[in-house]
């Protein structure tokens, strides 16, 4: 009965004339409005399921006796963190798809720059919905992916030849910057990066404190010169 109901609703939605309207530039199978709704449902469903399952597993494995497992399980499914996490890709999908299809309907043409505008707008609004500490993680991940995308675009356009050692060079440059910051400006690094380099370089706390004092002295000298 449930399958028949779901099938009927899906068939009704797909066949509704208002949901079948799209421009000649749109490559999605059904109409623009249907494409937006489908994207919202999928984005929210996937993100919500992932966050809820992760919270459920964490609740079952927790050993904290001060908080009951029942409240943790309930929070995993209807908690604010779960809903915020699910809203991140949902809002992005809504803004990105709406702006692109809306621009095509209004201008009757496919303006390439709207892909950048819609992506920027969707990313800006969706990232503002999550905590600042988590924004850094998403920003770092998306930054590296965007650099990789631009590099692949240059390869596809035959502007840059594809070489296997290019990624080694990119990695070396990134390590060069962070290693310099650890040696000369470690207040620019996050705590986890400082701990990583301290373990990697086999430095103890005394050496780290001595380095910190040296950094502060150099910083004061630089400020006095200004």
Q: What does the pLDDT profile of the chain (226 residues) look like in tens digits?
A: 445 444 555 565 566 666 677 777 777 777 788 888 888 888 888 888 888 888 777 777 766 665 666 676 777 777 777 888 888 888 888 898 888 888 888 888 878 888 888 888 888 888 888 777 777 777 777 787 888 888 888 888 888 888 777 778 877 887 787 777 777 777 777 777 777 777 776 666 777 677 677 667 767 776 776 6
Cα distances (Å, whole numbers) of residue 176 to 51, 108, 169, 212: 35, 48, 10, 20
Cα distances (Å, whole numbers) of residue 82 to 11, 52, 76, 179: 31, 6, 6, 36
Residue 83 token pair = 């809903």
CA 56, CA 18: separation in Å to the nearest integer? 40
Instruction: Evaluate if pTM is beyond 0.95.
Output: no
């Amino acid at each position: 009965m449930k399958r028949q109901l779901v099938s009927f609703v899906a068939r009704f939605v797909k066949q509704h004339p208002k949901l079948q309207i799209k421009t000649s530039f749109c490559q999605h199978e059904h109409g623009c409005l249907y494409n937006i709704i489908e994207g919202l449902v999928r984005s929210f469903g996937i993100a919500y399921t992932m966050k809820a399952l992760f919270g459920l597993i964490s609740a079952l494995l927790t050993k904290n006796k001060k908080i009951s497992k029942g409240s943790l399980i309930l929070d995993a499914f209807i908690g604010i963190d779960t809903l915020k996490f699910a809203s991140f890709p949902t809002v992005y999908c809504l803004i990105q798809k709406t702006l692109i299809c809306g621009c095509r309907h209004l201008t009757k043409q496919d303006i390439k720059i709207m892909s950048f505008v819609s992506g920027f707008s969707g990313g800006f609004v969706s990232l503002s919905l999550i905590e600042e500490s988590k924004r850094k993680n998403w920003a770092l991940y998306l930054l590296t992916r965007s650099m990789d995308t631009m590099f692949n675009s240059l390869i596809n356009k035959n502007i840059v030849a594809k070489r296997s050692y290019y990624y080694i060079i990119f990695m070396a440059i990134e390590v060069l910057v962070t290693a310099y910051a650890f040696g000369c400006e470690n207040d620019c690094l996050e705590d986890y990066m400082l701990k990583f380099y301290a373990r990697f370089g086999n430095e103890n706390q005394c050496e780290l404190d001595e380095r910190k004092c040296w950094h502060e002295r150099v910083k004061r000298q630089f400020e006095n010169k200004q």
